[in-house]
Structure 1
Amino acid sequence: MHVPDGFIDAPVSVAAGAVAAGAVAVSLRGARRELDEKAAPLAGLVAAFIFAVQMLNFPVAAGTSGHLLGGALAAILVGPYTGVLCVSVVLLMQGVLFADGGLTALGVNVTTMGVVTVVVSYAVFKGLVKVLPKTRRSVTAAAFTGALLSVPAAAGFFTLLYSIGGTTDVPVGKVLAAMVGVHVLIGIGEAFITALTVGAVLAVRPDLVHGARGLTAPLKLRVGGEFVDAPAAAPAVPAVARSTGKVWATGLVAALVLAGFVSFYASASPDGLEKVAADKGIDSKVEPHAAKDSPLADYGVKDIANARLSGGLAGVIGVGATVVVGSGVFWAVRRRRDDGTPAAASSSAA
C-alpha cells in the first residue's frame, strides 16, 4: 500500500506529513518507556524483519497481490510507540533507497501504514487479551484479529485522504469499495504472518512479547494436552542478554534468508493499491519517483543482469541498512531513557 507521488495533492500531503511528524515525535517520547533491556535490542531487528517480509508479495485474487504492512506485528512485539518508529524506519529506507513509496507522500505512508495500523491493531489486541483466557493461544488469536482489522482500516484511511485531496476525479464510493474489499483479503495474509511470528516468539521467550506482559495470570503453554505455566525468564541480566542475543541472531538470519532468497519467488502481480489505482484510474497523475535512478531502485542492484542475484543482493542490503539505521535510532532513544531524560522533561513540564 505504498502511495506514490501524485495520488494525493500537495496540501493534504503536507497535512499528512505534519500528522506523521507529530506521531513520530510522540512515539520517540513513548518509546523511551518501552525500550527496556529486553525490547531495545530487538526493535531494530523487528524493523529489518518487517522490511524483509514486505518483499514477499502473496497472491490474494486474480492479478492482485498483497504484502505485510507490519504495524500490528511491531506493536505487539515491541510496543505501540516503538512500533510506529519501526514502520517509519522501514518506509524511509524503502522510499530513499528503493524508490518504493513517494518521497512527497512519505507522510501519507507513515500515517496510513504506520500510525493507523498500530493504533487499530493494538487497541483490538489489548481489548481481546483483557477478556480472553490468559493463554498463549489467546494472545496469538488476539494478534491475528488485530492484524486482520488493521489492514482494511488503513485502506479506509487512504480512501479518506483521497476523498479530500485526490488528484483524479474518481467516485470515492468506488475507491472505498475496491480498496476495502481487496485489503480484507490482504488482511488475512497479514493476520497469519503476524500470528505465526508472535506465536513463535511466545514459544521460546514469552517475556519478549510486549503485548503479553502484565497479564493478570501467568501465560500458559499447552504441553501434552494440558495447560501449564510458561517458564519465567531467568532473573540474571547476563542470562537475559545471552538469550536475547540468540533470538536476535535467529531473527536476523531469517530476515536475510527471506529477503535474499525467498523474495525471488514472491508474486509479481501488482499489490492491492496498485491494482485498484490501475483499474479505477486514480494513477493517471502519478509522478516519477525522485529516487528512480537509485542504484537499488525497484529492489534490484543496478548493472547486475541476473534477476535472482540482483534482487537477492538488494534484499540483503535493505535488511542490513534497516537493522543498522533502526538499531541506531532505538539505541539513541534507549540512551536518553538511561540518562533520565524523560524524568527531567516531566519535571520541567510540571
Structure 2
Amino acid sequence: MDNKGKGAKALSTSLQNLNLNLNSQSNFKSNKSSITTTITRPQFPGFLTKTKPPSLVNLCIGLIGRHLEDIIEDLDEIAIGLPAEIKLAVAAIARRRKFLNDDVLIALADASWEILDVSGSDVSDLGLVKAAEVCRSVKALDISRCTKITATGISELVKHCHSLETLRCGGCPRSDNTARRCLSIFKPKLEYVAEDSWEELDTKEMANGAQSLRWLVWPNIDNNSLEDFSTECPRIVVNPKPSPFGFMGTQVPFEAFQNIILDDAVVKDIDPKTWTMHGIAKRPISSPSSSTELSVAEKFRLAFEERDNRLAPKRAKNARQHQRRAARDMLLMSTSAKAVVLASQASKSLHSRNL
C-alpha cells in the first residue's frame, strides 16, 4: 500500500509538473506572439503609412479649378479638347466654387455623362434643357436647392433623358414647390393611338412621362406629396433606404442614398483646397530697401490729383460760359422769355424819356 501510495503521489506530481511546463510554454508563446504583434503593429498605424501622391491629371484639374474665373469666358472653346471625365470634374469644381450657370454647363456638357449634379447652382431651365439635349445617357440628376429650375424644365428634361432613374430635389421652398408640381409629369398618361391591331401598338406612343424614373430623393417631402406619389406613381420609390436585400428585388443604387453628394466621387482625388481656399492671394513682402519708393498706383494717384488741381479753374470757367450760353439759348427759343425781355427794354426806354 505504501508503494502504491508513493507511486500515485509521484504520478500526480509528475502530472502537475507537466501541466506547469505546458502553461509556461503557452505563456511563452503568447508573450512571443504579443511581442511579435507589438513589433509588427505599431501603436500609431498612420505614422509609417505613406499617402498616395496625386496623379498628374488630378494636379492639372486642380490647377484649372483654382484659376477657373480666369478661363470661364473662353470655357466653351477650351472644353472642346477635354475628355468627358475631366469636363465632369471641372463642372463639379465650378459648382463648388459657385460658378456653375447655364453658360458653363452648356460648354462642359458631354454625351457620355451618366450623372449630373447642378445642386445649389444658378442653372435655369434653359441650361438644363440644353444640357439634356446633349447628355441623353444621364441616369442620376441632382437639382436640389436650384431656385431657377421649374417644372417646365423638368418636363423638357424627361423628353430627352430616357435613361433617368434617380432624381434628387428639394432643399429649399422653391425647389420643394418644383418637385410638388412634377407629380403630373411623372404620372404615366395613356394616349389614344389609332392602329388597326393591338399588336401594332408601341408602348412609347401609348404612354408618356418619366417611365424610367424609379428613385426620388426628396428629404423634406410633406405627407400629402408622399401620399400622392405613392398613389399616383407607385413605381417611384421616395427616399429609399439602403438595405442588403434591396427593395422589391431591386438593389438601391448609390445615387439614391440621401446623405451623399452626387458628384463627390468625381473629385475625390483632387485637393479640396481647389475650391475651399480659392481667391486668397498672399501679399508680397516688400524689402526694406524699396520701402521708401512709391508704388505705381500711388504715382498715378498723385499725378491725377496734380492734373485735376491744375485744370480746376479752366473747368469752372467753361461751366460759367456754358451756363450763360444756355440762358441765352433759352431766351432765344422761348416766346414768353422774349416778351419779358422786350417789356423790360420798353419800360427802360420810357423811363429814360420821362427823365
* TM-score interval for Structure 1 and Structure 2 normalised by the shorter chain: under 0.3
So what's the TM-score if we normalise by structure 2? 0.22
Higher helix fraction (1 or 2) = 1
So what's the TM-score if we normalise by structure 1? 0.22
